[in-house]
Structure formats: structure tokens, C-alpha cells
Amino acid sequence: MSDIIRIKRGLDIKLKGKAEKIYRRTERPFFVALKPEDFVGLTPKLTVKPGDEVKTGSVLFYDKDHPEIKFTSPVTGIVSEIHRGERRRILEVIVKTADEDEFLTFNIKDPEYLSREEVITVLLESGMWPALRQRPYSIVARPSDIPKAIFISGFDSAPLAPDIDFIIKDNETEFRKGIDVLSTLTKGQIHLSVEAGYPICKSFANAGNVNIHKFSGPHPAGNIGVQIHHIDPLNKAEVIWYISPYDVVRTGRLFINGRLDNTLVLALTGSGVIRPAYVKTIVGACINSVVNGNVNNGDNRIISGNVLTGTRVETNGFIGFYDHQITVIPEGKHHEFVGWASPGFKKFSFYRAFWSWLRPDAEYDIDTNLKGGERAFVLTGLYEKVIPLDIYPMHLLKAIMVEDIDNMEKLGIYEVDPEDFSLAEFICPSKMELQDIIRKGLDLIRKETE
């Protein structure tokens, strides 16, 4: 047990619509989909066509550049549609679910008796592998790499984020098994970060082979990138892997039951939700099955993930592969007469330029309005206040904008991810799209180095 790592810079955005800690019943989804776009930089190669029958664990597509990385069906059923977008890019591989799951089974042994290669084979064949991602770039981990460490963030600090202790409660054995599996994959340590100030949940405390770190402070203290930066920062050419706690549980179940665990625990949150609560469903479930009848009337935006980094989805869309949260907030397509001059008692702001600072504990109902026009960079020293990394965000952004790879590396691009800039994007008075810029920079550097 190490000392508490105190994150001082950041911001907790207090939104209305926190999920109550109960499970609400949902129907079994009629449709389930995997979305290749959830996986950064992936070029999918399909192995199924509409009408094919698939079992839980059957391959739907694989990575063209790394054919060993397979993406398997979370349910049993019939492939109903390949939804394509511009230039025939595959957006969704949709499976119509059968009433009962028929699982493909995998030959398993206790991870203790398996070699690294054997463990990797089981993870790859079952489709559990893509749950492991690497930094830099947040792409799916490459089985050929040996990461210097594996990181698990034991808490989510994003707005309205699910309580991970609640999600993995009563999964002590599975979590421990999952950690055993992961420890065969790295020669380094497994770092598990927890929130200081709360008792460590049983699953974490009894996880065995992990190095527990306590973090305190506002969002983004729960971001994996922030934790890596403060525990064991990434240098050029180094690779670490990371995985979510619930996916550790699923990995454990795979090695206990010999079949892919397709369950997903989800927090349904946001001011657009009538009764925010947790639900148990299936990986890639359609949004309809989860939010049906529990959303306010009116023009809403449904987000798979949180309000800062999530993906916009329609009601007939699907939950993202890595998401444990759905947020529903009102759309903000309205004008506000001389809004920039209003006192702003009800306007949430990082700055004390609105009277809302008088109510520090209030919860806010923030819509999707941009709340201003796009402008050039003018103010300085703001992004630093919400990015608790030892980098110069403005200089890094400018290096990316002029595509200066040498400077990007020097300024620490390997240590950042779009999500680390999401708060800066939120508070930016010039309304710049910072996450897009960072993603562009990372894509550029990945193409240069691969």
C-alpha cells in the first residue's frame, strides 16, 4: 500500500441524474451489435454475412492488420444486418438474438498451469482479448507485445459515472481469477488504482497479485492516463496495457466457466432519464432495450458513455464496447437572448464569472448547447488547471495542429489521450475541439511509427 496520490487540478461537473444503486429490470435485447468504430484504428474483416447463424463466441470479424485479434458475437442468433456508412465503412454488425444463449466452449485450465501463449490463445479465440487496450493510442493490445505493466482504474470519476464497487460487488472470486490471468501477460506489475477516502471493496482487497494505489481529487483522477502518469509514466517506445475492472471479472468468468461471459452492467444516468438506476444487460445491447419507457419526452441526446467522452447514439443504436454508462441529456437547440450578459445563477461554470458560484453544491441540468461561438486561442493557462499531467497542453496542441511530429514527441504526446483533454474542451472559452486535435495527433504518429 502506497501513499495517497493527490490530484489537485481538475473539475467535478455536478450533473442531475445520478444512478440510484439498485438494478432495474430490462428485457433481453432483441438486437445486439459490435461496432468496429469502438476500436481505435481498426480495419475490420468480416467473417459473416446477413442470415448466418452465430453462437455466443462465434467470430463476427477480425482485425485485417492483426488477424489473430478476433471480435466475437456476444449472443446467439442470426446476423441480421451489416450497417455501413460512408465509403462502405462498417459501422455495426447486428445480430438478432435468439431466446437462449448457446455458448462456444473453450478448453481451459487454471491459469497457473497455462503458459503466456496458451492464455493469449484462449483470450483471442473467445473474443475477450479486445477488452485489453494499450497506451499510447488506446488501441486494442497487440498480443506480440509484452507490456511493461498492466493498469486497472478501480474507480470512474467522470460526470455521473457508475460506481465500480457496486458493479463488481460479490465477484471476489472472478476478479481474483481475472487478475491471475492478467499476471501471466506481463513481466511487470499490475497496478490497481482506488479512490482514497473510501474503504477498498472486497474484490479489490483480495485480488492477490496487484499493486494498489490510492488516488484522491477531482475528475480526471479516475482516468487511466492520469494514473499511469503518476505511477509509472510512459516513455517513447514503451507500452502498457489497461482493462476495466468489470472486464477483469468477465475474464475471470471465462477461465472459470470455459465460455465467453456476455454480461454487461450499466448505469443509466442523466437528467433526461426518469428513474436513473443500474441495469444488467448484454454486451453491445441495443439502446432501446435499456432506455425504453424510462426517458423524458422532448428532444434528448443519448450518449453511450459519459458526457465528456461518450459517443452519440440513437435509440435504435447500440452500447459501445467499452462503455458502462448511458447518459441522456436534453438537446440545446435554442437561442438565448443576450445570454452572455445574464447573471447565470443556473449556469454551471468552471469560472466564477457567473453567479452560480454562490451555489457550490447544486446539481445542474446542462444541455448540449455549445454556449458560444468558436474563436481563436486567446486565454492561456486554463487547460493546465484541469489537466493534471506534467505537460504543456497548449504547446502540444499547437504542435499537433502544425503536424510537427518531432515536437509532439518532445511535448509528451505518448502520455496523453483524447479523454485527458475532455475537461479542457469543456472549459474552453474559445470552444475548440481539443479531443479531435489530440486524436488527430495520435493517429498521425501511429501511422508514422507503424
- From the CB of 217, what's the least distance to another protein, in Å? 18
Instruction: State the minimum distance, in angstroms, from the CB of residue 39 to another protein.
Output: 19
DSSP secondary structure letter of residue 375: -
**345 touches another protein (CB under 8 A):** no
Which residues from 306-335 bind another protein, rule CB under 8 A?
307-310, 312, 327, 329, 331-335
Q: Which stretch binds another protein (CB under 8 A): 61-69, 138-146, 188-196, 342-350?
A: 342-350
Minimum separation from the CB atom of position 214 to another protein (A): 23
Cα–Cα–Cα angle for 393, 320, 243, nearest 5°? 65
- Least separation in angstroms between residue 180's CB and another protein is 27
Candidate residues 174, 215, 435, 442; the one interacting with another protein per rule CB under 8 A: 435
Comparing CB distances to another protein, the nearer of 47 and 368 is 368
Strands of 47-89 (E only): list them: 53-54, 59-63, 70-72, 77-84
Beta-carbon contacts of residue 150 (< 8 Å; ≥ 6 apart): 182, 185, 186, 188, 189, 190, 191, 240, 241, 242, 243
Give me 304's grid cell: 453511450
Q: 7 to 36, contacts with another protein by CB under 8 A?
A: 13, 15
Nearest approach, Cβ of residue 52 and another protein (Å): 35
| Among 392, 440, 444, 446, interactor with another protein by CB under 8 A | 392
* Residue number with CB closer to another protein (262 or 271): 271
Burial-class residue 11 by CB neighbours within 10 Å (0-12, 13-18, 19+).
middle
Q: How far is the CB of 118 from another protein (least distance, A)?
A: 29
In angstroms, give the least distance from the CB of 423 to another protein: 8
- Shortest Å, Cβ 261 to another protein: 30
Closer of 378 and 402 to another protein (Cβ): 378
- Residue of 430, 440, 444, 446 interacting with another protein (CB under 8 A): 430
Q: Which is nearer to another protein, 103 or 392 (CB)?
A: 392
Instruction: Name the residue nearer to another protein (CB basis): 215 or 414.
Output: 414
Nearer to another protein, 247 or 419 (CB): 419
Cβ 184 vs Cβ 119: under 8 Å:
yes
- Shortest separation between residue 189's beta carbon and another protein, angstroms: 15
Identity of the residue, 88 or 333, whose beta carbon is nearer to another protein in the bound complex:
333
Among positions 96-135, residues that touch another protein (CB under 8 A) are none
- Taking the least distance from each CB to another protein, the nearer of 433 and 443 is 433
By beta-carbon proximity to another protein, the closer residue of 189 and 349 is: 349
Query: CA-to-CA distance for 224 and 155, rounded, in angstroms?
Result: 10
What are the φ/ψ torsions at residue 132 (nearest 5 degrees)? -90, 125
Give the whole-angstrom CA distance, residue 315 versus residue 303: 10
Q: Using CA atoms, how far apart are residues 47 and 29, in angstroms rounded to an integer?
A: 23
x/- contact string, 230-249, with another protein (CB under 8 A)?
Answer: ---x-xx-x-----------
Encode 112-143 in three state secondary structure.
HHCCHHHHHHHHHHHCCHHHCEEECCCEECCC
**DSSP line for 183-207:** HTT-SSEEEEEEETTSPPPHHHHT-
- Of 73 and 356, the one with the shorter C-beta distance to another protein is 356
250 or 301, CB closer to another protein?
301
Q: How many CB atoms lie within 10 A of CB 431?
A: 13
Placement of cell 507490456 in the chain: 147
Pick between residue 164 and residue 303 the one whose CB is nearest to another protein: 303
Pick from 46, 47, 426, 446 the residue near another protein by CB under 8 A: 426
CB of residue 369 to another protein, shortest distance in Å = 6
CA–CA distance, 374 with 320 (Å, rounded to integer): 29
CB neighbours (10 Å) of residue 295?
Answer: 19
Residues 6+ apart with CB under 8 A from 444: 400, 403, 405, 408
* Member of 27, 81, 110, 336 binding another protein (CB under 8 A): 336
Cα(250)–Cα(35) distance, rounded to whole angstroms? Answer: 19
Partnered with residue 2 across adjacent β-strands are none
Number of Cβ within 10 Å of residue 426's Cβ equals 17
Nearest approach in angstroms of CB 94 to another protein is: 25
Count the site residues for another protein by CB under 8 A.
Answer: 74
Q: Which of residues 351-390 bind another protein (CB under 8 A)?
A: 351-354, 356, 366-381, 384, 390
Query: In the window 269-308, what residues touch another protein (CB under 8 A)?
Result: 301, 303, 307-308
Closest CA to 208 of 231, 239, 181, 179: 179
